[in-house]
Chain A
Amino acid sequence: MRLIDLTLKELWHRKSQLISGLLAITLGIGVIVGIRSISVVSEKAVAVNLDNLGANILVLPQAASVDNYYSADIDAPTFPESYVEKVVTSSLPGVDNMSPKLTRRMKIGNENIVLTGVLPKSEIASKPIWQTGGFLGNQINASCAPTTDDQPTKYLDEKLQRKGIDTLAGYDCFVGSSVAKKLNLKEKSTLTITTEKFTVVRILPETGTVDDDRVFANLHSVQALLGTGEQISAIEIMGCCRAISDGLLGKLRNILPDTRITTIGQIVSTQIETNRLMDKISLVFLIIILFVGSISIGNYIWANVNERRKEIGILRMIGYHKRHIYYILILKAVIIGIVGGFAGFVLGTLSAFWLGPQFAGIHVNPIYSLLLVSIVISVSISIIGSIIPAYMAGKIEPFSNMQED
C-alpha cells in the first residue's frame, strides 16, 4: 500500500468533502478560463475590426505635414522608392501589406483631381529580392485575425479595399466616385491626364474622404508622367494593430531613420486600451481566484486534517514521519489541483463557448494551451492553500488516536 493508494482511498472515502473541495477550485479555474477565452477572442475581434479600417501606418518624407492622415501624401516631398525594399527585406513581423505611392494634384479640364500612383501587388511580387523578405506570403488581410472558418479574414468593408490593389496595368486606372461624377466617367472610359491616356477599369465606391477625388494609376506610369524618376511620396503600410501596439513604429523608424512615420493614433490607442483592459480584467480575476481559491482549499484541507486527527495519529504511531504526513496532504492537494484544473478548463471553455455568442456576439473556440495553464494555476492554488494545514497536521501528536470517540 503506497502513500498514493492511501491518499486516493481517503479521497474516495470522503466523497462529499472531495466534491466541495473540487467545486471550489473548478469554479475558480472555470471563471479564469472563461474570461480568458472570451478576452483572447475579443482582442482578436477588435484587432480584425481595426485592421479592417485599412492601412494604418504612413511613411512620409521628413518634411511632410501630417495634419491630415488621409491626405498627408498629397504634394508631399519625395523619397526613393528603394525604401520599400528596405522594409520588405527586414521581415518585420506585423507588416501585413505595403503600398508605395506618389501623389500630386492635377487639373483635368476645369476639374481638380488627385493623381495617385500606386504599386500593385503583382509588381511587388515580381521583384525577386522582395520574395526573400517573407512579404509575399501575406495576403491583403489581417494576419493578426483568428483564422477560424466563420471569421472572415478579408476586409469586411469593400470601400476600404482600395488600399491594396492586386493588379493594375500600365495605363489602367481606378477612379474615385467624385472624380467619376465630375468627369462623367464609366468603366472602360478613357481618361487623358496631360499627355497620357488611361483606361478606367473601376469606379470606386464613395468613401466620403479625399479618396473620392483620387485617380489611382500604376506608380511607374505616374512617375513617368510626372518625371520624378523612382521617387515616391509615401508608403502606406497595413500594420497589424497588435504589432503596432508592441512597438512596430519604433522598429520601422530604425529601418527608415530619415522619414516621418505616423499612424492613426485612435486606432492604435483603441487596440492598446482593449488589450490592457482585457489583460487587467484577467489579472484581477486571477488574483481574486488565487486568493479565494487558496483560502477555500486551505479551509477544506484544514477541515480534513481536523477530521483525520485520529488517522494521522495512527500513522504517526506506527512509525510514519512528519514528512510522510506532509507528503500525503500535499499529494492530495496536487490530485485535487489536477482534477480541478482539468474540470475548470472544461467548465470555463464550455461556458465561454455557450455564453460568448449569447452575450458578446463572438464565437469562442477552445484554447488548448489554457489547459496546461489551468492545471498549473489550480495545482499552485491547492498547494499554497495546503501548506499551513499540512504544517499543522505534522504537529499532531502520535498519541492522538488514544482519544476515545
Chain B
Amino acid sequence: MIVQVNNLTKTYLRHDGYINAVDNLTLDIPKGSFVTITGASGSGKTTLLLILGGLLRPTSGKMFYDGKEIDLHDEDELAKFRSNHVGFVMQSFALIPYLTAVENIMIALNVKNSNKSTIRKRANELLKWVGLEDRTTHYPKELSAGQQQRVAIARALANNPDLLLADEPTGNLDPSLSEEILSILKEINQKHNTTVVMVTHSPMAAEYGNTRIHLNKGKILSD
C-alpha cells in the first residue's frame, strides 16, 4: 500500500454545530492504482483528498505513507512530504498568473533543486510531454483552459511524485478537453506507475479509475 488511513476524522464547527466531514474513515490505496472518489457535494471527498495530500490536518486518525506514519501535525514534515511525494492537480488550475508556463513548473522544481539550467531543462521537457513546447513563455491568461490544466499537470509531475491527487481536474473543461486531461492522467498512472487519486462529480471521469470510492457524509459507501 502506498497510502493507508486509519480511523480518520475531520470535524468542522458550523453555525448549527459540529459536523464530521470525514467520519472515522479507514482506507488503503494500493501503489499504482487509479482511485476515483465520487459523492454529493459536502460528502467529504475534497476534505479526504486534502488530508491525503498533507494539505489539511485531520481532527483524529493516522496516515501512513509507504508504511511510514506521517506526523499530520508537523508542518515542516507535511511540506517535505508534499514536495517529495505528492503532485496536485486542481479544478482551478492553481497557476500563478504572473509566471509563464515554464516558470510555473520551475517554481515547483525550485523547492528541491537550485541549479537554474537543470530546472529549466526539466520544466521544458515536462511542457513538451504535455504538448505545450510552443507555449513555454505564455502566461496563464494567454492559454486555453485545457492548456492551463496541462501546465498544472506538468507542474504536478515536476518532482516525480508517487502520488498524484486531482480535485475535479475536468470541472472547468468541456467534454472533449475533459477526455484529453483524463487520458493524460491515465497515461501517467499506467506508464509511470504513479498512484492517482481523483475526486470527481462526473460518472464518466469516475470510470477511469480501477478503484472507485463513493462517499456519503464522510463515510465510504462502496468501493
Interface of A toward B, CB cutoff 8 Å: 1-3, 6, 9-10, 12-13, 310-311, 313-322, 324, 397-399, 401-402, 404-405
Given A317-B55, A318-B111, are A401 and B98 also a contact pair (CB < 8 Å)?
no
Contacts of A401 in B (CB 8 A): 90, 92, 94
Nearest first, the 10 A-B pairs at minimum CB distance are A319-B83, A13-B98, A1-B106, A319-B111, A399-B55, A319-B82, A318-B108, A401-B94, A398-B55, A321-B79
B111, A402: Cβ atoms under 8 Å?
no
Q: What is the CA–CA distance of A405 and B94 in the complex, to the nearest angstrom? A: 11
Q: What is the CA–CA distance of A12 and B99 in the complex, to the nearest angstrom? A: 11
Residue of A3, A9, A12, A319 ringed by the most chain B CB atoms within 10 A: A319
Give B50's nearest chain A residue, CB to CB: A399
B79, A13: Cβ atoms under 8 Å?
no
Contacts of B174 in A (CB 8 A): none
Give A324's nearest chain B residue, CB to CB: B111
B34 adjacent to chain A (CB < 8 Å) = no
Contacts of B159 in A (CB 8 A): 319
For the complex, count residues of B whose C-beta is within 8 A of A: 36
Interface of B toward A, CB cutoff 8 Å: 46, 50, 53, 55-56, 75-76, 79-80, 82-84, 88, 90-92, 94-99, 103, 106-112, 114, 116, 119, 155, 159, 167
Given A1-B106, A401-B90, are A10 and B98 also a contact pair (CB < 8 Å)?
yes
Minimum distance in angstroms from A320 CB to a CB of chain B: 6
B94, A314: Cβ atoms under 8 Å?
yes
Give B99's nearest chain A residue, CB to CB: A9
B55, A2: Cβ atoms under 8 Å?
no
A318's partner among B56, B88, B114 (CB-CB below 8 A) is B88
Contacts of A317 in B (CB 8 A): 53, 55, 82, 88, 94
Q: What is the CA–CA distance of A315 and B108 in the complex, to the nearest angstrom? A: 8
Minimum distance in angstroms from A7 CB to a CB of chain B: 11
Contacts of B108 in A (CB 8 A): 318-319
Contacts of A318 in B (CB 8 A): 82-83, 88, 107-108, 111, 155
